[in-house]
């Protein structure tokens, strides 16, 4: 599975990407399983961020039909 994305911002503390195509979302749409896709695929990004340390903010996903995923990872001082 692949995703197409562009990096919008990259600093020492922030990484902001926009995913414009997601094979996972395309596949889950084909089988009529967007909701489970959100739970099993998209939400795992937050668990990964929690485990690695950066804060993740995302308000749109391809899986939800938004046409893009907006990822913003931030390293905070805490």
| Per-residue model confidence (pLDDT) at position 78 | 60
Global pTM?
0.86
Contact call for residues 24 and 41 (beta carbons, < 8 A): yes
CA–CA distance, 74 with 78 (Å, rounded to integer): 11
Domain layout of the chain by residue ranges: 3-74
Contact call for residues 1 and 19 (beta carbons, < 8 A): no
| Per-residue model confidence (pLDDT) at position 1 | 76
Band of pLDDT at residue 77, cut at 50, 70 and 90: confident
When pLDDT is averaged across residues 47-72 and rounded to a whole number, the result is 94
- Neighbouring CB atoms inside 10 A of 46's CB total 13
Question: Is the pLDDT assigned to residue 45 strictly greater than 80?
Answer: yes
Per the prediction, the chain carries an average pLDDT of: 94
Question: Is the pLDDT assigned to residue 33 strictly greater than 90?
Answer: yes
Q: Which residues contact 9 (CB under 8 A, 6 or more apart)?
A: 15, 16, 72
């Amino acid at each position: 599975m692949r995703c197409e994305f562009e990096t919008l911002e990259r600093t020492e503390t922030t990484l902001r990407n926009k995913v414009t195509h997601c094979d996972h979302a395309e596949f889950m749409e084909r089988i009529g399983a967007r909701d489970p896709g959100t739970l099993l695929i998209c939400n795992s990004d937050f668990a990964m961020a929690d485990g690695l340390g950066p804060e993740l903010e995302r308000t749109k996903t391809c899986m939800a039909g938004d046409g893009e995923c907006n990822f913003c990872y931030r390293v905070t001082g805490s």
